Structure 1
């Protein structure tokens, strides 16, 4: 995963002209507007929304089932602390590299003066990085394959962890609650494996539905995860900080929070009256192929 990201970052930075050139082009294109302190909550990207939103999302990562399952697999609480202290900076590094990858993509297409999205060479912003990989590595056989391997390594590792966690929850919290007697180990293994298959099929169905929403993948993913991660983090904080809380109140509060967060997430994706955050200025299209520019101009006239 890291080798694929490193290959894109190194080659893209070299093609642009170095780190300074990437930084300058990103600054001129408005990609480093990090200190927008606008208090308006309807503006999507401000310092406040990104800081507090990332903080809340980080709490959700600490309380979700895959994280709890990993913590429970450690030998001691001290080992669990070590894992969390190691994970936090590595996660920050991974997210920073992903952000820099987007900046390199913008700087590259600004340097070649042909924005692929504006010139209709691609139809979806999620296609920019794969398109750039095919562009910068077109003379290096095997490099696009490395990118695909890193992409699938990242997605499949996360997916396998989620499916394993769903299987553990289904077996422990549902099956064993229904059947009061002890379940044989072989039977429990079969049930767990079948639940993984069913969960995988459901996940594929959800992915097909999400694909119809439109927009950038990071925005869709953040919306979906926040709708569930926020109530989950609230449930854990309630149980740890308020000893007088009971299970009925916790359940009702979590369900209400889940419904509200889901309503907000769906509204942000499908509402026709919502004030959309304007797109950042695109890269130049001065040197795009004539056929692509012609179709782009015709679409603009329409």
Structure 2
């Protein structure tokens, strides 16, 4: 029996109707804004919405922009396979929003540029801008290819559609969809599709909790079942759960998650440090995000949009982590992947949907719509807003992205592949922007040298890690079993007493027998450190080359670098200083009055008693 046989024909009319409704509403929003904005005066208005947007819709759009099918399908699968440590991303979100709001947003908002890569030309040179733009386009195409591939997996699982048929159809629909409206259309489509994503998550979570008998059994399963009892899926909140199962409610503080070994795939340190660099490169300099928040009508609205977006990011993260725990709780005794019921880990969530929601027409369609909507949104944005609204370029972009989807199918874990792409390319890009904004003496020679050096080094470690994967003890996959798998028939998801033979799992590929000396050290580095490596090397080489080539003599316009007046900390300091000065001034005035008039009451200030006439002058 195969997963395909289980999934074929599982969609009913109601599911297709819900899925089609999502497409129609999204397209309708785009068509409406395209029609309403057809007379916009300039390309800047088209790309930035006239800078009249407010914080709330922009914040929801920021949240939705990188919460795609990867979040809906890959995050729960990550928790199912490796544990809930990805919940530490919540801390990296917080740090990334603070850094973006304080250091990057003020400069980009002040310049009011339609592309972040214009900054590289203004600050350094046209060559730096061209290289940065080229890297961004490569990053975008790779990422979009993955985003096409992931929902195609979902369609393949729940409808039985051929995988490549799903990939091509997804690419064709997205290429057509990219011809819709301006930035306002993108923002409001994001708002709608974020709601679809949350609804899809909640439908799975609520039904899973009902099937398993409540929230506590799901948490209990995640705590009890792990790899030799040492790694728990609920490891982040293990201390709180331990109050019900153990007297040591703070044992999570000393858990393996706090191991400082940089070769460990996921730890508190790799996720918070490496994740911060990744998310700063996304929110701080990525055109998709910067273009959204600089479209706000004031810098206060722009900052507020980032912090409201933070709430949305954490909510989505919590949903995806708990969905992964529900996935494990349902299949803790029969892993569908090991049993051969699905062909890839990213099909686990669609498989669960058809298992527990198949009797509720429309809900499977809602979940697939949630996964699919992220792809439509991203491809619409990248192809139309970044490569200009010409049919030829949109078509070419669609074809290239479909080709990249094939490459994505060979990259293993989708979540890791995505973050690796953002790390390898985004890290050096973050470094060159950091040079420009924070270092007034950095020159164009230093910027180019640093960018190339950071890219070469991050490519070296990234490609090496792909060729020579780290050993399983570094990635620490969790134990899965098929001992409880019992089937009645090839077309049913019910269980009987006939056991399915246990198969060996190949979740983590083993490295080749002959590997270079660097395979167990440099190439085994956690993929989350790719971004810090690229950033640090770019900045270090850029500073050194700039100083050696006379950068200390460089005179840079103040508007191109971060000024103290740009930061909230400066304004807070100024506010409290004024308050202290005012209080000190009031104290000095009161003292002068007391010395002069003998009273602190201002009614008696500068009034002298005329004792010779026995009256008080008026």
TM-score band, normalised by shorter chain: 0.7 to 0.9
Structure 2 stretches lacking a partner, 5+ long: 1-196, 226-231, 237-254, 491-497, 507-618
Shift of 1:283: 4.8
Give the equivalent residue in structure 2 for 1:270.
Answer: 467
Report Cα offsets for 1:74-130 as digits up to 9, x if no partner: 2222221122122122112212211221111011112xx322112221121111101
Alignment match of 1:82 (pick from 304, 313, 317):
304
Change (3 A) 1:222 1:299: closer
Report Cα offsets for 1:270-297 as digits up to 9, x if no partner: 215x323231011553243388954644
RMSD (CA atoms): 2.3
Quick one: distance in 2 between partners of 1:299 and 1:255?
A: 40
Quick one: distance in 1 between partners of 2:214 and 2:418?
A: 31
Quick one: distance in 1 between partners of 2:454 and 2:505?
A: 43
Structure 1 segment 1-302 matched on structure 2, within 5 A: 1-29=197-225, 30-34=232-236, 35=255, 36-62=257-283, 63-110=285-332, 113-168=333-388, 189-190=389-390, 193-214=391-412, 216-271=413-468, 274-276=470-472, 277-283=475-481, 285-289=483-487, 294=500, 296-297=502-503
Quick one: distance in 2 between partners of 1:256 and 1:14?
A: 53
Aligned length: 274
The residue matched to 1:95 in structure 2 has which SS?
helix
Quick one: distance in 2 between partners of 1:10 and 1:268?
A: 38
Report Cα offsets for 1:214-268 as digits up to 9, x if no partner: 2x21111111122122122222222111111112211221222122222222222
The residue matched to 1:100 in structure 2 has which SS?
helix
Quick one: distance in 1 between partners of 2:351 and 2:505?
A: 21
Q: Rg bigger for which structure?
A: 2
Q: Do 2:387 and 2:393's aligned partners in 1 also have CA atoms closer than 8 Å?
A: yes
The residue matched to 2:347 in structure 1 has which SS?
helix
Q: Do 2:436 and 2:442's aligned partners in 1 also have CA atoms closer than 8 Å?
A: yes
Shift of 1:160: 2.0
Quick one: distance in 2 between partners of 1:118 and 1:289?
A: 15
Change (3 A) 1:263 1:196: farther
TM-score by length of 2: 0.42
Q: Which structure carries more relative contact order (alpha carbon 8 Å, separation 6+)?
A: 1
Quick one: distance in 2 between partners of 1:99 and 1:130?
A: 16
Change (3 A) 1:293 1:154: farther
Report Cα offsets for 1:46-72 as digits up to 9, x if no partner: 111111111111211111110121123
The residue matched to 1:116 in structure 2 has which SS?
coil
Quick one: distance in 2 between partners of 1:280 and 1:127?
A: 18
Q: Do 2:338 and 2:503's aligned partners in 1 also have CA atoms closer than 8 Å?
A: no
The residue matched to 1:27 in structure 2 has which SS?
helix
Change (3 A) 1:298 1:40: closer
The residue matched to 1:258 in structure 2 has which SS?
helix
Structure 1 stretches lacking a partner, 5+ long: 169-188
TM-score by length of 1: 0.83
Quick one: distance in 2 between partners of 1:249 and 1:285?
A: 59
Change (3 A) 1:103 1:283: farther
Change (3 A) 1:223 1:54: same
Shift of 1:167: 1.0
